[in-house]
Amino acid sequence: MMNSSRPDARRNAGPYLYGREASAVAQVLESGQYGHTGVTEEFERRIAAFLGVDDAVAVTSGTAALHTALLVAGVGPGDEVIVPSMTFCATVQAILAVGATPRFIEINPVTLCVDHQLVLEAVTADTAAVIPVLFGGRAVNLGPIHCELEERGIAVIEDAAHAFGSYDGTRHVGATGATLTCFSFGPIKNLTCGQGGVVIPRTSEQADMIRRLRLLGVTQSQTERATTTTYQVDSFGLRYQLSAINAAIGLAQLDHFDSTVETRRRLWCIYRDALGPLEGVTLVDVGPQTAVPHLCQVRVHPRDQVFQEMRSQGIGVGVHYPPNHLQPAFAPWRRALPVTEKAGQEVLSLPFHQHLTEDDIAHVVAVLGRAIETVRAERHIGRLA
């Protein structure tokens, strides 16, 4: 009975619409122009202005952003890319898409992010790029070792899919000097376009390359194309431009981003306070003073049983993520990563989205507490039997 009364606690994540998204989409539909239009360009300008950077280039997804960034950084066959195993599989697939190989590394067990030492230890003669993942929204960066890496010809490509809006001190993620930063605006991210992504370039040459790449290597504008009998393909390219339909959703979301920041921080802190007295769980701190939290994760043992118990009570728990080095598709690059494997067995993502109320969170935490007790009692009985 308690389950059905809390439908929002059943969902692990999801978009939060502020009300103008649908009419913004309707306007684009009525215009008859759905592709890359002025709406997409306005979205890019607004993202750049928000982040405090010169430029932002919109693409179809976070995965496309990572793929494009790797291409622009010149990463290809024979190259190695340093990446934490603890990330969404999209990060790794983007590396394979350019024909490079992932070199999986460990994470800091507290932040679930890479740190400087781990990255430097993994560098080889073949390393062409590092992809730090800003896990859960945490505003980590490789600032102090950027220069050293770039001097060695290694690009720093941030996977900031979780971290739109997060701060590093006084600068937004995306403005902290990485070679390139990639955001995702997928359905469950802090800001959504429905589906979409952005690459933050650091130079205008990078920006031009991304703009060519995302339009199938065709550099002519729509107006130029309308006046000639042909079109010119100048370089390799893909169909990666963000549609005006998706950009319109993103623009409507951006109008209310202050509210998103406030809500996500507030909900995360409510969780933190409610989880405080609970024994046997450790909250993964994302640093809510500077981060816009994307996940609310705890570590708990035995996670799988607690997960099942909470699911059976109607709570939308999830796991971010099963480690990539253990995935069948990435087996050729498997290596022993004990810290990541332990985290992979313990992390549990509690429902975290902007429809949650304080009561929902109290309910989730109460169910978590009971689940831990139930699971531990069963294990105890199992041991006695």
Ligand X SMILES: *Cc1c(COP(=O)(O)O)cnc(C)c1O
Contact residues for ligand X (CB under 6 A)? 61-63, 87-88, 90-91, 133, 159, 161-162, 184, 186, 197
Diameter over CA atoms, the chain: 83
CA gap 333, 336 in Å, rounded: 10
Q: Which strands, in side-by-side order, build the sheet including 296-300?
A: 281-283, 296-300, 347-350
* Shortest Cβ 159–ligand X spacing (Å): 5
Q: How far is the CB of 73 from ligand X (least distance, A)?
A: 16
User: Mapping DSSP to helix (H, G, I), strand (E, B) and coil, where does residue 269 land?
Assistant: helix
Distance between CA 99 and CA 210 in Å, rounded?
18
CB of 296 to ligand X, least distance (A): 15
Q: How far is the CB of 190 from ligand X (least distance, A)?
A: 11
Catalytic residue among 103, 189, 212, 265: 189
| Comparison of 218 and 326: residue with beta carbon closer to ligand X | 326
36 closest CA partner among 202, 204, 225, 257: 225
For ligand X, the closer CB: 191 or 365: 191
Q: Which is nearer to ligand X, 182 or 267 (CB)?
A: 182
- Which CB atom, from 96 or from 366, has the smaller least distance to ligand X? 96
Task: Please say whether the beta carbons of 186 and 62 come within 8 A.
Answer: yes
Is there a catalytic annotation at residue 189?
yes
369 touches 362 (CB < 8 A) = no
The candidate with the shortest Cα–Cα distance to 127, out of 156, 107, 98, is 156
Q: Which is nearer to ligand X, 145 or 161 (CB)?
A: 161
Least Å distance, CB 225 to ligand X, is 29
Using CB positions, name the residue nearest to ligand X: 62
d(CA 155, CA 140): 16
Classify residue 279 as exposed, middle or buried by CB count within 10 Å of its CB (0-12, 13-18, 19+): exposed
Residues catalogued as catalytic: 189
